[in-house]
């Protein structure tokens, strides 16, 4: 069934460019091939053991790759922190591939970036603590900032021997959004999404709605995350979300839907899509890669770290996306699952898939990309959307690594475990975040 444009919508939304950075890979096709061959991005983090955390593995950006990307970012790209550098590379790649001019210079373009708030690292917390008056319960923020600007101040344990006086500007996600909008001349609508693990999908979904309504012609939408840091790793481990390494091979730790799953593996990365109205893309002769056919963002607040175990909240989100696309469950050929490898999330998502697709769930191929690329939080939905576009392009399904045996809830799903050629016309891509922020995207052949 061909997706329809819902009542009141003026434009079909298509994808004309994709870009990505993950691990040591700096383009989407390289990542697709990497996973298709059954290989992982998850390795031992160079500093996790030093930090003494039990989950000493991650899908981090290779340090040499990160430095190369940092060096490649032009000055006019503006202040870019660790996540912003990744965002700039993926966004610039997607933009160049779309064939759009270097600068759009129109208010009918927008930037939609997903990136969760950065947290302070130990050196910064130590420096800040020196300016806290515990008796008065006050912080001398001016004194702290003056210290950062003082070249004679004692060095802290930063990467360059000191603290970056502009770090607090660089690490704000809003700064990266504004920098990208200015660089590409697309400042008609600017949005920064921090909807936890659903943020990447929600950024794409919001851009899709602006274009579908006719308010924008072009949008740069995606996510970037750089959270394989001591503070973030410690926090996620503290709430029981991260899988302990326990001496296991890093490649085997992330196990979506498997009965032996024990938590997610954190990752870094960035991914972007260029979205356009079909009319705008065709008018300039652009190559159309896929269509964004439907989207739903649903918020619930069952529990901070999990949703209803019967899958009803996730099912509601999937059904809303199908309704938005004008599709029935039988029109979906593939599910790119959120699949974090946590007990709670996989249980909820598996139950929801059984609810929405019924008996057909046993014949509907499901892939969990996080088995190979870890969970890059705000970026994960964007990265999985990019991989879904390539599944549509290549008519190929990616494997879920490490799935060997289901449990009672995940039993009855068709979990893809090897690269699989398949006829794919529509993909349902799920992202379900902490705090009950749920998102489902439907990507389809452009027709």
List Cβ neighbours of 248 (8 Å cut-off, separation of 6 or more). Answer: none
Window from 98-102, 201-205, 341-345, 386-390 with minimum mean pLDDT: 341-345
Mean pLDDT of 360-373: 98
The whole-number pLDDT of residue 116 equals 86
Domain regions of the chain by residue span = 13-118+171-444, 122-168
Catalytic residue among 55, 115, 197, 317, which? 197
Q: Active site includes 134?
A: no
List Cβ neighbours of 314 (8 Å cut-off, separation of 6 or more). Answer: 307, 348, 349, 351, 352, 430, 432, 438
> Residue 415 has which token pair?
């979990």
For residue 304, what pLDDT band results from cuts at 50, 70 and 90?
low
Nearest to 370 by CA among 415, 425, 326: 415
CA dist 290 and 398 (Å) reads 17
List Cβ neighbours of 238 (8 Å cut-off, separation of 6 or more). Answer: none
φ, ψ of residue 306 in degrees (nearest 5) = -160, 160
Q: Active site includes 317?
A: no
Q: Give tens-digit pLDDT for 137-160.
A: 888 888 877 776 665 555 443 434
Fold observed for domain 13-118+171-444 = Peroxisomal Thiolase; Chain A, domain 1 (3.40.47)
The whole-number pLDDT of residue 9 equals 41
The whole-number pLDDT of residue 175 equals 87
> 351 burial class (0-12, 13-18, 19+ CB within 10 angstroms)?
buried
Residue 310 is given by DSSP the state T
Q: Active site includes 439?
A: no
The whole-number pLDDT of residue 8 equals 38
Catalytic residue among 338, 348, 354, 439, which? 338
List Cβ neighbours of 332 (8 Å cut-off, separation of 6 or more). Answer: 322, 357, 364, 426, 427, 428, 442
For residue 246, what pLDDT band results from cuts at 50, 70 and 90?
confident
Burial track 13-41 (b if 16+ CB lie within 10 A, e otherwise): bbbbbbbbbbbbbbbbeebbbbbbeeebb
Residue 43's alpha-carbon distances to 151, 372, 384, in angstroms, are 37, 10, 20
CA dist 264 and 69 (Å) reads 27
- Report yes or no: 127 and 156 within 8 Å, Cβ to Cβ: yes
Residue 420 has pLDDT above 50, yes or no: yes
Q: What is the DSSP string of 236-251?
A: HHHTT-BPP-TT--GG
Average pLDDT for the chain:
89
Pairing outcome for strands 13-21 and 290-299 = antiparallel
For residue 359, what pLDDT band results from cuts at 50, 70 and 90?
very high
pTM, entire model: 0.91
């Amino acid at each position: 069934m061909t997706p329809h444009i819902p009542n009141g919508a003026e434009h079909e939304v298509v994808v004309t460019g994709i870009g990505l950075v993950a691990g040591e890979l700096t383009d989407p096709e390289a990542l697709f091939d990497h996973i298709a061959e059954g290989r992982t991005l998850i390795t031992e983090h160079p500093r996790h053991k030093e930090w003494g955390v039990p989950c000493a593995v991650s899908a981090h950006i290779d340090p040499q790759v990160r430095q190369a990307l940092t060096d490649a970012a032009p000055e006019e790209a503006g202040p870019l922190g660790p996540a912003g550098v990744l965002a700039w590379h993926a966004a610039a790649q997607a933009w160049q591939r779309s064939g759009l001019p270097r600068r759009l210079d129109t208010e009918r373009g927008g930037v939609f970036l997903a990136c969760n708030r950065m947290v302070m690292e130990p050196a910064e917390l130590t420096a800040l603590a020196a300016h806290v008056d515990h008796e008065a319960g006050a912080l001398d923020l001016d004194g702290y900032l003056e210290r950062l600007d003082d070249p004679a101040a004692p060095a802290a344990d930063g990467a360059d021997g000191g603290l970056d006086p502009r770090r607090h500007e660089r690490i704000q996600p809003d700064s990266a959004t504004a920098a990208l909008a200015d660089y590409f001349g697309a400042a008609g609508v600017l949005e920064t999404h921090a909807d936890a693990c659903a943020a990447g999908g929600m950024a794409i979904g919001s851009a899709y709605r602006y274009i579908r309504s006719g308010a924008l012609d072009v949008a740069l939408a995606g996510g970037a995350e750089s959270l394989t840091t001591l503070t973030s790793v410690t926090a996620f481990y503290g709430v029981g979300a991260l899988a302990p390494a326990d001496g296991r091979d890093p490649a085997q730790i992330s196990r979506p839907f498997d009965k032996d799953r024990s938590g997610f593996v954190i990752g870094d990365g960035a991914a972007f899509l260029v979205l356009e109205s079909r009319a705008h893309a065709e008018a300039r002769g652009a190559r159309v890669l896929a269509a964004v056919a439907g989207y739903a963002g649903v918020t619930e607040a069952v529990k901070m770290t999990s949703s209803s175990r019967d899958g009803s909240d996730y099912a509601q989100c999937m059904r809303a996306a199908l309704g938005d696309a004008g599709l029935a469950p039988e029109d979906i050929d593939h599910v790119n699952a959120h699949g974090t490898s946590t007990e709670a999330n996989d249980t909820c998502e598996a139950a929801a898939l059984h609810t929405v697709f019924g008996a057909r769930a046993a014949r509907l191929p499901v892939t969990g990309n996080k088995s190979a690329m870890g969970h890059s939080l705000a970026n994960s939905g964007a990265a999985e959307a990019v991989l879904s576009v390539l599944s549509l392009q290549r008519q190929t399904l990616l494997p879920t690594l490490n799935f060997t045996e289901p449990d009672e809830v995940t039993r009855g799903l068709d979990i893809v475990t090897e690269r699989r050629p398949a006829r794919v016309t529509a993909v349902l891509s799920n992202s379900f975040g902490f705090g009950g922020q749920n998102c489902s995207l439907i990507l389809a052949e452009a027709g």
